[in-house]
Every structure is written in C-alpha cells, then in structure tokens.
Structure 1
Amino acid sequence: MRGDQILLLFTERYNDFSLPGGGIDEDKDIIVALKRELEEETGAQDVQVNEHYGFIEEYRPYWKPQFDLMHMTSHFFLCDVAPELADARMESHEVANGMKPVWMPVSEAVNHNRQVMARQEETMGQSIQRETFTLEKIADELVSA
C-alpha cells in the first residue's frame, strides 16, 4: 500500500479486483511463495514482507466435478515494494483471463466489486466475496488509520 493506494490485479474475465496471490503446497515456504507471486503477477521488485495481516479459511464448491468441496486458507501480508514495477510474468491462464496489475484507491476497488456482486454479473468469479471482504477490512483498518 501507498497511502490509500493498493497494488491489485484487475481481471477482465471476472470484472473484479483482487489481491495478488496463488496456491502453494503444504511443504512450501509461504514467504518465498508470496514474493514469487508478487513478482510474477505484478512485476513488484525488492519485495519486503513486513507483517502477517490475517487469514481467511473457507469451504466452497470445488471446480472439479469429482470433488464436492474445496478447503482453502488465504493468508494476507503487508509488504513494501520498489517504486517501479517491472513487467509482470503472468501464467497463460492469467493472460487469457486478462489480468493486469494496477495501483488504485482501496475504496474504488471495493465499490467496483460491490457493484459487480449487486448486479450478479454472469461472469462473476467465486473469489470476489473473499477479496471484497478483505479489501473492506483493509479500507477500515489501514487506510483510515
């Protein structure tokens, strides 16, 4: 974050803003994965992890038909990055979904996501509720602090 600005990903396919991140195997180091994801998805450089902000544990329908539920724990961290972003190195599915890193006011991202949810857009992704909830907490706890 920089003032009220936060580094997010906008995904055209889902028309939403989300925090950078990705999945890791249980035996992998979360900080190493965090830095890698920030660098790959946003082009962030010189990533410094300052503190663990919190986590959300959720169960939701699994996208593979042979499974009923997916259990996921999402961790959130406060980080500093260099002022300039390098080119992002997105995976092919991220490029296909139209993901782009953006700095923007947290309140604008929250308002945009809320409008998408209110309209129940056909392309709305499953993660928008979690991402919007987290962005609301950030707006309340970190931006107005």
Structure 2
Amino acid sequence: MQLLKTMVHPGINLNQGTQFTRRTGRAIVIKDAHILLMYTRRYEDYSLPGGGVDEGETLEQGLIRELSEETGAQNIQIIKPFGLYEEYRPWYKDDFDIIHIQSYCYLCDADKALGKAQLEHYEQQNGMTPKWVNIHDAIAHNERTISLSDKQGLSIIRETYLLKQIAQQLFN
C-alpha cells in the first residue's frame, strides 16, 4: 500500500523508549458526493470510520467489522487500497512509551441506509455518531476546530490530512 505520510509527534524521540504498533483499518465510503464519517462531539471533529485490527484478523476483516460496528453499514465491500498514514505518538500507559499507529485506508462500498451502530462505551461517551457529510464541509469544520478549540484530540491532524487527500484524489 502506498505510504501517504509519516508523522512523528514533536514530544517523542524515536531512538528512546519502548514502542508497540497498532494496525488500524479506515474506510472511505462515498455516496452521492458525500462521505461517511464519524462525528465526535467531545473533540468537535470528523474522522473516517474504522479502528484497531484484532489479533487473528486480516486488515480487511478488521476494517469491515469496525465499519459495521461504528456506523451500522451493511453490504460492505472493499474496492481498493487508498493509502497508509503512519504516526508515532506518546503512549499514556506504563507498558510502553510510544505507540506506532498504522492507518490503512481503503475505498469501500456499502448501502447508503445505515443500520444500528454498536459503539463501544468510550465511543458512546465521546458522542460519536455516523454522518453522511460533504467532504469540503468536513475539512473546513476540522480546520476550524484545529484553530479554535482546546478540546481537540491528537487524531484530528491525521483525519484532516486524510480528508484533504481523499478530496484531492477522489472528488476532483
């Protein structure tokens, strides 16, 4: 898969400390000039649906499971790989110092009508909801959050970068 970007958090030194890798699958689902995204009320941002791949799952299996759980998407099909975004961040638990997140993004297809999402407890508490959104509106929203909000999470930089790449490659 094509490497889109490698981002290293400014607060870490890759040559010091211990690290582990978390592989994630992220879905790009487009219908009628809209993209399926997750809105997170806590961080006031839009992100691609997806998440961590469980042990024993392929990237594709994990992606389909996460997309279905987070959005209620049905009849999911993976069309083709889009690209990989990798990042190195500080880890907040005692077992490691750095997390290396590999976000494998795939263009997917699914029904426009969404079923019932099965969000994890923390996703519910963060106010995550699936929404069909104009991609340019989502980018503008995330950019406003980056410039104005102190509530933003670390993922908004990744998500905004990915949304811009998707807009440039798939919406132009």
TM (norm. structure 1) is 0.94
Separation (CA, whole Å) in 2 of partners of 1:46 and 1:69 = 36
Deviation per CA, 1:112-138: give whole Å up to 9, x if none: 00111112x221001000000000001
Does 2:144 match 1:115? yes
Tell me the residue number matched to 1:98. 127
Give the aligned partner of residue 85 of structure 2.
Answer: 56
Structure 1: any 5+ residue segments left out of the alignment?
none
Question: Structure 2: which amino acid aligns with 1:123?
Answer: K
Within 1, Cα distance between the matches of 2:89 and 2:68?
A: 28
Structure with the bigger percentage of helix: 1
Larger CA deviation: 26-35 vs 39-48: 26-35
SS in 1 for 2:117: coil
Establish whether residue 81 from structure 1 lines up as the match of residue 92 from structure 2: no
The CA RMSD measured in Å over matched residues stands at: 1.2
Provide the identity percentage.
43
- Larger deviation: 127-136 or 80-89? 80-89
Aligned residue identity for 2:99: M
* Structure in which a larger fraction of residues adopt strand: 2
- Aligned match of 2:58: 29
Counterpart-to-counterpart distance in 1, 2:121 and 2:133:
25
Q: Which amino acid aligns with 1:137?
A: Q
- Whether 1:133 aligns to 2:161 is yes
Superposed structure 1 runs of 4+ greater than 3 Å apart: none
TM-score by length of 2: 0.79
- Residue deviations 1:86-120 (CA, integer Å, cap 9, x gap): 0111111110100000001100110000111112x
Matched residue of 2:84: which SS?
Answer: strand
Cα distance in 1 for residues equivalent to 2:137 and 2:119: 24
Q: Is the 8 A contact 1:3 1:143 kept in 2?
A: no
Find the aligned partners of 2:66 and 2:72 in 1 and give their Cα distance: 9
